[in-house]
Amino acid sequence: MNSAIKKSILLVIVSLSFFFQLYAQPTEQPIKLLITPNHQNWQCKVGDLSNFKIIVMINGVAIKNAKIFYQIGPERMKPFISDSIRTSDTGFMTPSCTMKEPGFLRCIVTTTWQNKQYKNLVTIGYDIEKIMPTVTKPNDFDAFWQKAKEDLSKIPTDARLTLLQDKSTSLTNVYHVSLQNYGSSKLYGILCVPKKSGKYPAILQVPGAGIRPYFPDLEMADKGFIVFTIGIHGVPVNMDQAVYNDLNNGALKGYFFFNANNRDNFYYKRVYMGCIRANDFITSLPEFDGKNLAVSGNSQGGALSIITAAIDDRVKYLASVHPALSDMSGYLHERAGGWPHIFAPNNLWFSNDTFVKQTMPYYDVVNFAKNVKIPGYYTWGFNDETCPPTSMYAAYNVIKSTKETAVYQDSGHWMYAEQKQAFNNWIIKMLAK
């Protein structure tokens, strides 16, 4: 086997591994904790009582006398109920409790079997359409971001493309791209352009959190779309994985907190402007059809998709999966806030600072969501422990434009294959208009 083939196989393995980290369901385990809520669609009204039936199973058979520990309460908050019990073969019904205001009630169950701990959870939504944000919009919010865009527009894009022949297909050319970005930094990404002469719709893919390489989305590109998949850290996105591991454990560790006490120097200012710069590049391509541009992403990328759509009117459609950075101030009001949980109790040593509290509203998805004017597709699950559904609905509920929602209640910070396909199908449908 020659070195080129070996390299291609390795790239496919790494790419698939990354795909499954983002979208695959959790792997099956021999011990199953079945938690059944008393509300069929996992939703109810404020004041309604909720309880949960818990059964511990192995090989499809209930385990007698299994010791479980369970907690019930608002997500990421101090539980209302915390107890342990041994189950019977018919299971155990928890005591009932309720929520006094809109939000999510979560039951978390753990058990230990043969020295290994197993965990499951179920989350009930209370009047979720009434969840309102805790963060307020600064009076100069729009002016702040308009000024940032004006500053960016004075910087030449200086696009440099390198053809990646080994990643290209018979239908699509793939390039590694370097752009000049805000604050003398660089923006890097992977560009896919159809080989056939013509004009094409485009998709900007914005990334989830982390430091890693990126790969071409040939599934979408080979269907006849320009696809630009960007990184946010100002480093090339086609280096060896070991380089990103070193950055993740060194210079970029905890990047989402960098300069959080200064609204002009916070890490995400360059990131948000990088999404605009990516669209500057896309719309300059001779192959772009001049009209149809969508932005999509999950988690941090779910946030960036909403943000980009709000401040760049060239975007016509947005698709967002479990958006992070939403209603981050929730913790300051005794409820869950969005990732990166900057105001969570364990981070208050850093964030319990007047300047941090003044900075975050300028970067909170909620305040961008209020400005969204285009059609959007939003999908997530109630069991997400990374991006609490309370925080996501705080942003979603203030969006006034046309919106389509696909809720997979039992999913967490991952996607079903069917969920991912429906997400892509919506983008394809909208761009084909």
Task: List, for residues 293-316, the tens digit of each pLDDT value.
Answer: 999 999 999 999 999 999 999 999
Omega within 30 of 0 (cis) for the link into 345: no
150 inside domain = yes
427 inside domain = yes
CATH classification of the domain holding 376 = 3.40.50.1820
Total tally of structural domains belonging to the chain: 2
Q: What is the pLDDT of residues 129-183, one digit of tens each?
A: 999 999 999 999 999 999 999 999 999 999 999 999 999 999 999 999 999 999 9
| Alpha carbon 339 to its chain's center | 9
104 inside domain = yes
pLDDT for the residue 24: 59
Answer with the one of 97, 130, 163 that is the final residue of a domain.
Answer: 130
How far, in Å, CA of 402 to CA of 388, rounded?
23
Domain check: are 151 and 119 in the same one? Answer: no
Domain check: are 38 and 147 in the same one? Answer: no
pLDDT for the residue 99: 97
Instruction: Provide the domain limits for residue 94.
Output: 31-130
Domain check: are 85 and 149 in the same one? Answer: no
Asked if residue 5 has pLDDT above 80, the reply is: no
pLDDT for the residue 60: 84
Nearest-5° Cα angle at 165, 159 to 170: 110
Q: Please state, as a whole number, how many other Cβ atoms lie within 10 Å of the Cβ of residue 25.
A: 14
pLDDT for the residue 350: 87
Instruction: Specify the range with the lowest mean pLDDT, choosing from 81-90, 251-260, 295-304.
Output: 81-90
Asked if residue 364 has pLDDT above 70, the reply is: yes
CATH classification of the domain holding 89 = 2.60.40.10
Q: Which residue has the tokens 């269907």?
A: 223
pLDDT for the residue 1: 45
Domain check: are 243 and 308 in the same one? Answer: yes
pLDDT for the residue 326: 98
Domain check: are 262 and 358 in the same one? Answer: yes
pLDDT for the residue 10: 38
Domain check: are 229 and 314 in the same one? Answer: yes
Asked if residue 17 has pLDDT above 80, the reply is: no
How far, in Å, CA of 308 to CA of 158, rounded?
21
235 inside domain = yes
347 inside domain = yes
How far, in Å, CA of 366 to CA of 398, rounded?
7
Give the pLDDT mean for 24-35.
83
- According to DSSP, the residues that pair with 298 across neighbouring strands are 321
Answer for the pair 377, 404: CB distance below 8 angstroms, yes or no.
yes
Asked if residue 9 has pLDDT above 70, the reply is: no
90 inside domain = yes
Q: What is the pLDDT of residues 89-115, one digit of tens each?
A: 888 999 999 999 999 999 999 999 889
- Which residues are annotated as catalytic? 299, 384, 413
Q: Please state, as a whole number, how many other Cβ atoms lie within 10 Å of the Cβ of residue 357.
A: 16
Q: Residue 23: pLDDT band by 50, 70, 90 thresholds? A: low
Q: What is the pTM of this model?
A: 0.93
pLDDT for the residue 25: 67
What value does the mean pLDDT of the chain take? Answer: 93
pLDDT for the residue 14: 40
| Percent of the chain whose pLDDT exceeds 70 | 94
How far, in Å, CA of 281 to CA of 157, rounded?
7
Answer with the one of 99, 130, 161 that is the final residue of a domain.
Answer: 130
Domain check: are 278 and 224 in the same one? Answer: yes
How far, in Å, CA of 197 to CA of 173, rounded?
12
Domain check: are 121 and 54 in the same one? Answer: yes
Asked if residue 215 has pLDDT above 50, the reply is: yes
Asked if residue 433 has pLDDT above 80, the reply is: no
Q: What is the pLDDT of residues 386-416, one digit of tens each?
A: 999 999 999 999 999 999 999 999 999 999 9
